[in-house]
Amino acid sequence: MPAQSRRPPNPLTGPRRPSLNVVLTAVVVVLAAVIFGGILIFGGDDEKPADQAAVSKTLVPDDANALTQAPADGRQVTLVEFLDYQCPACAAFYQNVTSKIEKDYADRITFVTRNFPLDSHPLAQLAARAAEAAAKQDKYVEMYTQLYQNWNDWAVQGDSVRSDVRAATRQFEGYAKAIGLDIKQFRADIDSAEVRKKVQRDMADGEKLGVDSTPTFFLNGERFEPEGDSFADVERQLRAELDEALDQ
Confidence of residue 16 (pLDDT cuts 50, 70, 90): low
Q: What pLDDT was estimated at residue 10?
A: 52
Q: What pLDDT was estimated at residue 15?
A: 62
Give residue limits of the domains in the chain: 19-47+60-238
Q: Where are the beta strands (DSSP E) in the chain?
A: 65-68, 78-83, 110-115, 156-157, 160-161, 216-219, 222-224
Q: What is the pLDDT of residues 188-208, one digit of tens each?
A: 999 999 999 999 999 999 999
When the pLDDT of each residue in the chain is averaged and rounded to a whole number, the result is 85
Confidence of residue 143 (pLDDT cuts 50, 70, 90): very high
* Answer CATH for 19-47+60-238 from 3.40.50.2300, 3.20.20.80, 2.60.40.10, 3.40.30.10: 3.40.30.10
Reduced to 3 states (helix: H, G, I; strand: E, B; else coil), residue 97 is: helix
Q: What pLDDT was estimated at residue 19?
A: 42
Cross-strand bridge partners of residue 80: 112, 218
